Structure 1
Amino acid sequence: MSKNWNHDRAAEHIDKKIADVKDVTIKDYTRDMSLESIPTNVAYRVDGVHLYADILNLDDMLNITNVEGVDCHKRTLRFLDQHYRAVKRILDKVDARRVDFHSQRLHSLFTKPYNSETSAETKRIQRAVATAQLIIDVLAETGDDDGQIPAAKVRIGIDSGRALAVNNGRNGYREPLFLGDPANHAAKLASKHNVKGIYLTNAARKAIGLAEKESPEKSALSADEIHACQEAAKLDVTADEVIKDWRDDLEKNPIGGYQFTRQTPPLRDMDISALTPANSKRQEMISLYADIDGFTAYVAAHIDDNAEDVVRTLHVLRAELERVVTSDFQGRRVRFIGDCVHGLYCDGTAQTTDEEKSISESTRLAGALRSSFNLGMERLRSKGYKTGDLGLAIGFDLGIIAVTRLGKKGDRIRCAIGRKVLESENRQCACSGTETAIGQAAYDAGSDAIKKLFGKNRRVANMDYVEATEALADKGDESAKQARAEAYAGAPAIIRADIRDVRPHANIAVN
């Protein structure tokens, strides 16, 4: 049997998820509330400061050799592991919260002192700036003594404001997810730039008495401005203390030697929660990112007067996207990153990856994601819920990917790295909410039907499941032909003709 998407199956799941969030409760976050294991139908409005720290030289580590070999991945994972442990120690010391650590990107939150008063916000921002400088100072000293692991080059973005905290994760991997402008703006300040430093949005600058800037992403805080925040925050920890504790911790809990085995497809069977450095996975896979386009603006428009529909929309869409990846196509969801899902896919055997088939099936998976997204939006609207003007941007590529968990026992986080992990995210970021993009490596290794479908710019608009399957099957793609044959098997000829005649033809290669 081929992997496939089915309208009725998707509709049943979507309706079930809509029922889960029929009654949603929105609460203002206060000091006695826990952000752990937030119920599906509950969200908190949280006043806080969001800090994103991007490690700028992860690309350098992944490209340290011409070939993306085992040693390259081992060094990169050690690089991330060492820096994750150091930053986690800092956040614990300053009473901040790690929200997420996704490859090169850390997201943390400052909620103390609690309340939304101006003076409390000022103190939170000053504390975040002082912590940002502490992170920079510590990571500058946490390279390997043998020179194989360099110190991290860090860029930090900070914003302040109200966000919506909801549950993020499934099956024992639950943590809060923060939706809204402050998290998004801080992330944008930190990412997609290559100059080190600490950068504040104009809202955060204004809150601590600094002049607004026409281009805050180009205006790093000066040494004097950072020092003023350090003096006001009076953090009860120094870089030297953190580094000493970090080195002591490494001696007691050394980073294990990374050992890789292959995961026999389907990847859905990969138990990421059981992975350790000595039990990591590595092979040729598809990395796919699917991001709900326009979601931040949608949250900002509804966070005060209709946050309930935000919770409903996110829960329904994200649960359905995960189901398509893991159930319909038997891939593996790595993690949710805000309103984006990162998944992995692979066809083949325990010894080899069938690259051409993996690419074809991932293309149909991308189409299935769009079909489910469109159906989810339709059924939410039919219930009278406000869903805004949302889209789905999808990017994927083929490459050698390592999957493991970082950190020490009892505090491990999942991680998937590889050059094509970064490239698949870049391809997704370049898409609008109607587009799907394929990376160069996957395009080159794909069938002639794949090249025809995506065109010379490797991007296609409005490609849903039927369109992807039919377009590939019509060009002789074996995976798509099998899926089409199974879908039509047993159906009367007139129905088969009707399906082909009414299938969408909005598929447009973006050339």
Structure 2
Amino acid sequence: MAHTWKHDRALEHIKKKIKDVETVNIATYTRDVSLERIPSNKAYRLDGVHIYADILNLSDMLSVTQEEGETCHKRTLRFLNLHYRAVHRILKECDTIRVDFHNQRLHAVVAKPYNTAQDAEKKRIQHAVAISQLIVDVLAETGDDDEHIPNAKVRIGIDSGEALAVNNGRNGGREPLFLGDPANHAAKIAGAGKAQGIFLTNNARKALGLKEAEEPKTTPLTPEEIQSCQEQANLAVSKETIVKEWRKDLKDNPIGVFEFSRHTPPLRTMDIAALSPANSRRQEAISIYADIDGFTAYVSRHLKDSAEDVVRVFHVIRSELDRVLMTEFEGRRIRFIGDCVHGLICEGTAKTTDEEETVSNATLCSGGLRSSFELSLETLSVEGIDTDGLGLAIGFELGPMTVTRLGMQGDRIRCSVSRGVLGSEKEQTRCNGVETAIGQTAYDAATEAVQSLFGSTRKAADLDYNEVVEALSEKGDDAAKESKAAAFATAAPAIAKSANLVINPHTRAE
């Protein structure tokens, strides 16, 4: 099926979203505030400690077999589910805000004690360190030898400071999201290596009363420093209690067997809210990541004096990227991850995936995402909203993909994990704000036109929709030619079959 990106449709949607956030209310977080279902035009300033925990051996789980088959995926999903349940119990018992649990990466926030208390920031950091060590200790005991599920190896990053809490997600997938330095810096230090331990930024170390480190990302807290935080935090729950309750819950509410079936394309119609371990999806598809480059620095510049513009830019751009993925190219958004959108794209039938067409349409989609991003910046700027320094980094990869929901009954988290998912994220991270990268597996399955577009580096700059559709159709890519013909069919049927005309999606039909 032909998929197209249209300037007028994009502009109409962008203007509507700008109007939705015309008036933005920035409030201060207090003890009586709920961070669930924050309106799109509202945000809360929250001074807290951000914890990022990375499970280091997830990729090992995905690589235990040479072929990425069902057994590999079932073991990996059970691995995540076991550890999700344990961490869920820790955060609940320790009165900590769970922000996100995306595959191998947890983000949580310690907001108490509030700043009205003496030495509040120091106490929050001590609390965060104690919780982090509890996570490390518990996940060292929550494997399953009978199912060949190892214990989790964990690396944790911590930072402290003020961030903006906004709404993340749509409908049933709403949860809080934090914009600002502490969330980003905690994530970076957590993801900065493979050594296990608890790592604090120098900002957090200073607030805790520790000496600054020359290399914070390679300087874990010592056992003595961790023990001191544990004694001061005096958590109301122990490792033994958590593990005991976790085992009882598994006995009373067993995870069950993971069962996979295919979703008939397009993936847009997939009802993720109806999924469970026994009703999971698995098929060959494209995983695509689109990340707003430079957004953390943008937030830092505007957080104090124009936080309203941060909320406007964030919601307008993400909403438009979501529309392009799901409406224009009929993919499925899996989730928003901070200022990043993760989705899947698949072309084919109920039984098979047309890999070549899937890669071509993902390439066209990446062009549509970039065109909509650039149009969003242009339209926001016309409204007097600063967008300097922002870019879009896009990466995608092909492979067997899974989609399911994990965790506790009544509080399940959507999950899509595979080598291709990790690969697409890796491709995105090697891009700057004007680049798009394609993974090796997708490149190998692509048409010669797609391979020529990306070249031997599998990366190219400034690939908007017009650039992509023209380059691919000129070299005989069928999906691109269909998209080009479909664009003409709606605007000028008499010339729809002309293969020599150049489409400019930024030009309106008269």
Indicate how the Cα distance of structure 1 residues 357 and 154 shifts in structure 2: closer, same or farther if over 3 A, else same: same
SS in 1 for 2:119: helix
Shift of 1:485: 1.4
Q: Which residue of 1 aligns with 2:102?
A: 102
Task: Describe how 1:371-390 pairs up with structure 2 within 5 A.
Answer: 371-390=371-390
In 1, distance between residues paired with 2:26 and 2:504? 43
SS in 1 for 2:26: strand
Shift of 1:232: 0.7
In 2, distance between residues paired with 1:116 and 1:343? 42
Q: Which residue of 1 aligns with 2:478?
A: 478
AA aligned to 1:172 is G
Q: Which residue of 1 aligns with 2:153?
A: 153
SS in 1 for 2:341: strand
In 1, distance between residues paired with 2:212 and 2:192? 21
Q: Please, which moves more after superposition, 267-276 or 1-10?
A: 1-10
In 2, distance between residues paired with 1:52 and 1:125? 13
Task: Describe how 1:269-284 pairs up with structure 2 within 5 A.
Answer: 269-284=269-284
Q: Which residue of 2 aligns with 1:44?
A: 44
Q: Which residue of 1 aligns with 2:74?
A: 74
Q: Which residue of 1 aligns with 2:211?
A: 211
Q: For residues 173-219 of structure 1, what are the alpha-carbon distances to aligned partners after superposition, in whole Å with 9 as ceiling and x for unaligned?
A: 11111000000000011114111000000000000110101210000
In 2, distance between residues paired with 1:175 and 1:440? 34
Shift of 1:312: 0.3
Task: Describe how 1:261-272 pairs up with structure 2 within 5 A.
Answer: 261-272=261-272
AA aligned to 2:438 is I
Q: Which residue of 2 aligns with 1:65?
A: 65
Q: For residues 403-427 of structure 1, what are the alpha-carbon distances to aligned partners after superposition, in whole Å with 9 as ceiling and x for unaligned?
A: 1000132010000010010010000
Task: Describe how 1:7-406 pairs up with structure 2 within 5 A.
Answer: 7-115=7-115, 119-146=119-146, 148-406=148-406
SS in 2 for 1:407: strand
Indicate how the Cα distance of structure 1 residues 449 and 37 shifts in structure 2: closer, same or farther if over 3 A, else same: same
Contact 2:470 2:503 in 1 (8 A): no
SS in 1 for 2:299: helix
Indicate how the Cα distance of structure 1 residues 7 and 501 shifts in structure 2: closer, same or farther if over 3 A, else same: closer
SS in 2 for 1:393: strand
Q: TM-score normalized by structure 2? A: 0.96
Task: Describe how 1:372-451 pairs up with structure 2 within 5 A.
Answer: 372-451=372-451
Q: Which residue of 2 aligns with 1:507?
A: none
AA aligned to 2:25 is T
In 2, distance between residues paired with 1:99 and 1:255? 23
Is 1:500 the counterpart of 2:502? The answer is: yes
In 2, distance between residues paired with 1:410 and 1:497? 53
Q: For residues 13-34 of structure 1, what are the alpha-carbon distances to aligned partners after superposition, in whole Å with 9 as ceiling and x for unaligned?
A: 0000000000001011111111
Contact 2:289 2:342 in 1 (8 A): yes
Contact 1:30 1:115 in 2 (8 A): no
Contact 2:126 2:208 in 1 (8 A): yes
In 2, distance between residues paired with 1:465 and 1:241? 55
In 1, distance between residues paired with 2:486 and 2:132? 55
SS in 1 for 2:166: strand
Contact 1:155 1:196 in 2 (8 A): yes
Shift of 1:439: 0.2
In 1, distance between residues paired with 2:360 and 2:261? 25
Query: Alignment RMSD, CA only?
Result: 1.6
Contact 2:192 2:217 in 1 (8 A): no
Shift of 1:46: 0.5
AA aligned to 1:211 is K
AA aligned to 1:500 is V
Structure 1 gap ranges (5+): 505-511
In 1, distance between residues paired with 2:123 and 2:134? 16
In 1, distance between residues paired with 2:170 and 2:500? 39
SS in 1 for 2:149: coil
> What percent of counterpart residues are identical?
62
In 1, distance between residues paired with 2:246 and 2:439? 39
In 1, distance between residues paired with 2:307 and 2:279? 42
AA aligned to 2:81 is D
Contact 1:285 1:398 in 2 (8 A): yes
Q: TM-score normalized by structure 1? A: 0.96
AA aligned to 1:80 is L
In 2, distance between residues paired with 1:165 and 1:208? 24
Indicate how the Cα distance of structure 1 residues 462 and 116 shifts in structure 2: closer, same or farther if over 3 A, else same: farther
AA aligned to 1:85 is R
Q: Which residue of 1 aligns with 2:455?
A: 455
In 2, distance between residues paired with 1:336 and 1:311? 15
Q: For residues 54-113 of structure 1, what are the alpha-carbon distances to aligned partners after superposition, in whole Å with 9 as ceiling and x for unaligned?
A: 000001100010000101100000000000000110011111011100000000010001
Contact 2:466 2:503 in 1 (8 A): no
Contact 1:309 1:387 in 2 (8 A): no
In 2, distance between residues paired with 1:452 and 1:77? 36
AA aligned to 1:204 is A
Q: Which residue of 2 aligns with 1:509?
A: none
Indicate how the Cα distance of structure 1 residues 88 and 501 shifts in structure 2: closer, same or farther if over 3 A, else same: closer
Contact 1:48 1:110 in 2 (8 A): yes
Indicate how the Cα distance of structure 1 residues 284 and 235 shifts in structure 2: closer, same or farther if over 3 A, else same: same
Runs of 4+ aligned residues of structure 1 deviating over 6 Å after TM superposition are 496-499, 501-504
Q: For residues 403-454 of structure 1, what are the alpha-carbon distances to aligned partners after superposition, in whole Å with 9 as ceiling and x for unaligned?
A: 1000132010000010010010000011000000000000001010011000
Indicate how the Cα distance of structure 1 residues 349 and 207 shifts in structure 2: closer, same or farther if over 3 A, else same: same
Shift of 1:116: 7.1
AA aligned to 2:302 is H
In 2, distance between residues paired with 1:220 and 1:367? 42
Q: For residues 25-52 of structure 1, what are the alpha-carbon distances to aligned partners after superposition, in whole Å with 9 as ceiling and x for unaligned?
A: 1011111111010011000010000000
Length, aligned pairs only: 503
Structure 2 gap ranges (5+): none
